[in-house]
Amino acid sequence: MHCIVCIKQVPDTTDVKINPETNTLMREGVESIVNPFDMYAIEEALRFKQKLGGKVTALSMGPPQAEAVLREAIGMGVDEGILISDRAFAGSDTWATSYTLAMAIRKIGDYGVIFCGKQASDGDTAQVGPGIATHLDLPQLTYVRKVEDVYENRVVGERLLENGYEVVEVPVPCVLTVVKEINEPRLPSLKGKMAARKAEIATWTAEDIGAEVSKIGLEGSPTKVVRIFTPPARVGGEIFRGEPSETVPKLAEKIKDIVINTAS
């Protein structure tokens, strides 16, 4: 089976801090990483390859430096990495992004399962996976926390719901978006790291994937950001120190009203 994994390079949120003086985002020396949820997507694709044979291709839409996450994926065992990059993609929202990735997948042509992480840690929308599925008219299973069975023509997976989970059988080709519970991502192997260093990452432009100008970038994005602001910083609170016999009553006093009001 040919599995495709869509991955994204995101800023490492641990390193993103707010400058207390200006109350703005400080991004000096912030590292870029593979979107955390995408690691689980890469791992699951590799497991599918182990079970069924075939190939795994990683795709990423981003600026030239996003090549780094494709190399990381190759280090884990992915066979090929393709970067979809073009200045024309600047300003893409989830509609335009899912369209662009869908066009790239169309160009690849033959595939079984398309994997995405549930959401990206910078945008946090969880919309691109289902968006790709819709552009390609494919069935989807989102929030997949476990794959029970995989065959060439179908996948049986568990979707995590708020009140439990459902077991769903989805035909291939399809889109799966995965959550953390599904697996433990492997570390890159030595052989993988060497392959990653040597790999030739193809770059596809808007023209290469046959994208319509009106559907990409700023023009292809129905949503527009009109304002960015930092939320008011939380004011430091009251911290009680001392023996529990002293501190506990003080805390209880503070929270009892909330508890009483919500209990009703």
Q: Which is nearer to another protein, 28 or 53 (CB)?
A: 28
Structural contact between residues 98 and 127, judged by C-beta atoms closer than 8 angstroms: yes
Residue span binding another protein (CB under 8 A) among the ranges 75-83, 176-184, 189-197, 200-208: 176-184
Element of type H or E holding 216: none
Structural contact between residues 6 and 59, judged by C-beta atoms closer than 8 angstroms: yes
Q: Which is nearer to another protein, 187 or 239 (CB)?
A: 239
Supply the minimum distance, in Å, between the C-beta of residue 63 and another protein.
4
Supply the minimum distance, in Å, between the C-beta of residue 3 and another protein.
18
Residue in 53, 190, 198, 241 binding another protein, rule: CB under 8 A: 241
Q: Which is nearer to another protein, 80 or 176 (CB)?
A: 176
Per-residue x/- marks for another protein, 18-57, CB under 8 A?
A: xx--x-xx-xx-x-----xx--------------------
What are the tokens at 40? 């689980």
Task: Map the footprint of another protein across residues 120-159, applying CB under 8 A.
Answer: 121-127, 129-131, 133-135, 139-143, 145, 156, 159
Task: Map the footprint of another protein across residues 87-126, applying CB under 8 A.
Answer: 87, 90-91, 93-95, 98-99, 121-126
Is position 200 an interface residue for another protein (rule: CB under 8 A)? no
Structural contact between residues 36 and 116, judged by C-beta atoms closer than 8 angstroms: no
Supply the minimum distance, in Å, between the C-beta of residue 39 and another protein.
10
Residue span binding another protein (CB under 8 A) among the ranges 47-55, 75-83, 204-212, 229-237: 229-237
Q: Count the site residues for another protein by CB under 8 A.
A: 99
d(CA 214, CA 37): 30
Q: Please tell me what DSSP assigns to residue 152.
A: S
Is position 205 an interface residue for another protein (rule: CB under 8 A)? no
Question: If you search the block for the tokens 């950001």, which residue do you land on?
Answer: 225
Q: Which is nearer to another protein, 14 or 53 (CB)?
A: 14
Dump the DSSP string for 37-49: HHHHHHHHHHHHH
Question: If you search the block for the tokens 């799966």, which residue do you land on?
Answer: 176
The vertex-130 CA angle with 89 and 12, nearest 5°, equals 60
Cα-to-chain-centroid distance, residue 188? 19
Residue span binding another protein (CB under 8 A) among the ranges 51-59, 61-69, 73-81, 203-211: 61-69
For the chain, the straight-line distance linking the first and the last C-alpha, in angstroms and rounded, comes to 55
d(CA 28, CA 14): 13
Element of type H or E holding 90: none
